[in-house]
Amino acid sequence: MKQFLILLGALAWFIEPAAAQKKPAPKAKSTTPAKASAAAKPAAALSPAALAPGKAVYSQYCLTCHQADGGGVDRMNAPLNQTSWVLGEKPRLVKVLLNGMQGVEIDGEQYANVMPAFDYLTDQQIADVLTYVRNSFGNKASAVSSAEVKAVRATNKK
Amino acid sequence: MKSTLSRYLLLSTALAGSITLLALKAEDKVVADADNAGLKLPAGFGALVAAETGGRARHITVTPQGLIYVKLNRPNAAGKGILMLRPTANGKAEVAGAIGSYGGTGIYSTADYLYASSDEDVYRYKLNSKGEVANPAQSEKIVSGLINRRQHESKSITLDKEGNIYVNIGAYANACQVNDRQKGSKGRPDCPILDSAGGIWQFRADKLNQRYANGTRYATGLRNVVGLDWNAQANQLFVMQHGRDQLSDNWPELFTTKQSAELPAECMYALKKGDNAGWPYLYYDPAQRKKMQNPEYGGDGKKEATGNYLEPAAAYPAHTAPNALLFYTGTMFPEKYRNGAFIAFHGSWNRAPEPQKGYYVVFQPFKDGKPFGDYEVFADNFAGSPEKAAAGRPDHKPCGLAQGTDGSLYVSDDKKGTIYRIVYAKK
């Protein structure tokens, strides 16, 4: 399974732009091991300038719950550092923003608050903020493009 | 306390007369930690770490015999959700037993019964003459089927002197929006949440298997009450409401982030049967001392709320999360504390990007059963440092309060599970 995922990831690495526009990468039911995607696509170090637009979106819409350090709030708001959702499959992550999330156990912990849907943000804003989150708070993972967000949005069923 | 002492006496006399004196002394003496357990206290007070439970210690209660019961937010490694602590030497205590397989918040004791709540049900356990749960396997469910949709899930409890139990059923929403916590989403007309939540329900403490239909919605329009206590002087229930969040996040054209950090106040209410505190239609502005219409229901930050809603009895800084309320009836603390209120503020998250606040225990003076004068921060620095508090990264979060048999004040912490004991040492 793990090898299969790495293979998939590697495939996605080669055909990413096309795949992203046509259909999102297959959805894995289990938690995607963060290492697999990291191994498949080593994140290029993103400059602070490249992360600035995402940081702006984060400060306006996310910081209130997930806090400035991305550490979340005990039992209330999930942390964004090193979680399987943040580092895992991108379509699943994009859907968290498009649809919101509530009552899902995250890495063995439950959170009482509600993650509202952010479907009113543009593809670019969602791509920027997720790129920022995946490369802040000690995270290091590949960027998310607006084309990837667009593709997920196109097939997104609430 | 008395029976524990006599037990000691019997035991010790059997061993040797001289040990009796030692045992007595050890039992009576309460020794504050050199650093007062890291707390900042008014002059003359001291504190010690009475115990480390290692669990998320929500509410706490002390029996007349001095046994301490702690409700854990979720069951510990052994699968138990209620810890029983027994006094040891120098004012400390240690875990000596555990019951209940459920997590939750509420716990309360009388001489005869221990009451505890999960996030859906309320149980009671018969206590024996030593304050111990006589038969741990025999819990009695007094209330069940209370709504739990995770948000504001704590079913805090307290009793009056007439055999009624009061249960908080928090509203499973921020402001009853069509889409909860979503920017610009309007309030649902005639908020349907209030039928089964967003208030305090009254049940009989001695009747088994009650459901909503057997109880009374005692007071409504309360978003989420975690701290509540019966005031014997006023013969009245007092509650601490967690005020609404996210005024600026969801209505940025009406509120700045700075305003949103200071609005609304966390309010204390003195309740009578049938009262309505106005959630989700209004919030309380502590600077103007006015009830304001919520933006979800047509408010704009300037419009006062209309309708016949309860006035708060007192107001405290926004978002600081009052998780416990205790009327102090002991005699250990100086006179001014008698019949006043201690309030444990769990600490904020919704003041970001402004500095966070709370993580302290406040004293609110009372006179003739009413708040009288300004509150003061009584025990501070549960966070460990002002920086940790401001960053919202505290070491400890005060969550529960209880009065010891000698008048000490116990504070539970649901972050690391520390049980603090605050004492007054006449010097």
A100: domain CATH number?
1.10.760.10
pLDDT of A27 over the 70 cut: no
Residue A9 lies in a domain: no
Asked if B69 and B114 count as a contact pair (C-beta separation under 8 A), the reply is yes
Q: Going by C-beta distance under 8 Å and a sequence separation of 6 or more, which residues neighbour residue B227?
A: B156, B239, B240, B322, B323, B324, B325, B343, B344, B401
Given the DSSP bridges, would you call strands B275-276 and B216-220 parallel, antiparallel or unpaired?
parallel
Asked if B100 and B123 count as a contact pair (C-beta separation under 8 A), the reply is yes
**Can you give the pLDDT at residue B137?**
81
pLDDT bucket at A43, cuts 50 / 70 / 90: low
Find the mean pLDDT for residues A103-111: 93
Contacts with A100 from chain B: Cβ below 8 Å: 182
How far is the C-alpha of B267 from the C-alpha of B310, rounded, in Å?
Answer: 11
How far is the C-alpha of A73 from the C-alpha of A86, rounded, in Å?
Answer: 16
pLDDT of A26 over the 70 cut: no
Q: What are the tens digits of pLDDT across the range A71-101? A: 999 999 999 999 999 999 999 999 999 999 9
**Can you give the pLDDT at residue A157?**
75
Chosen for mutation from B149, B249, B351 (greatest number of chain A CBs closer than 10 Å) is B249
Q: How far apart are the CA of A61 and the nearest CA of chain B, in angstroms?
A: 7
Instruction: State the DSSP H helix or E strand holding residue B96, giving kind and residue range, or none if neither.
Output: strand B93-99
- Residue B65: φ, ψ to 5°: -85, -5
What are the residue ranges in chain B where pLDDT is below 70? Answer: 1-28, 426-427
Residue A33 lies in a domain: no
Contact A64 B352 (CB under 8 A): yes
Q: What percent of chain A has pLDDT over 70?
A: 72
CA distance readout (Å), B235 to B135, B230, B248:
33, 7, 39
The answer, as to whether pTM is greater than 0.90, is no
Question: Considering only CA atoms, which of A9, A46, A17 is closest in space to residue A146?
Answer: A17
Contact B150 A102 (CB under 8 A): yes
Q: How far apart are the CA of B218 and the nearest CA of chain A, in angstroms?
A: 25
- How many domains, chain A? 1
Contact A114 B350 (CB under 8 A): no
How far is the C-alpha of B82 from the C-alpha of B104, rounded, in Å?
Answer: 9
**Can you give the pLDDT at residue A46?**
84
Asked if B73 and B55 count as a contact pair (C-beta separation under 8 A), the reply is yes
Q: How far apart are the CA of B215 and the nearest CA of chain A, in angstroms?
A: 26
Helices assigned H by DSSP within A23-145:
34-40, 48-61, 63-66, 84-87, 90-99, 123-134
Out of B73, B149, B180, the one facing A116 most closely (by C-beta) is B180
pLDDT of A153 over the 80 cut: yes
**Can you give the pLDDT at residue B152?**
96
Domain that holds residue A139: 40-155
**Can you give the pLDDT at residue B426?**
58
Question: Considering only CA atoms, which of B329, B331, B333, B327 is closest in space to residue B425?
Answer: B333
CATH no. of B35-424: 2.120.10.30
**Can you give the pLDDT at residue B138?**
84
Residue A67 lies in a domain: yes
Chosen for mutation from B349, B354, B397, B415 (greatest number of chain A CBs closer than 10 Å) is B349
**Can you give the pLDDT at residue A33?**
42
Contacts with A68 from chain B: Cβ below 8 Å: 352-353, 391
Q: How many CB pairs under 8 A join A and B?
A: 51
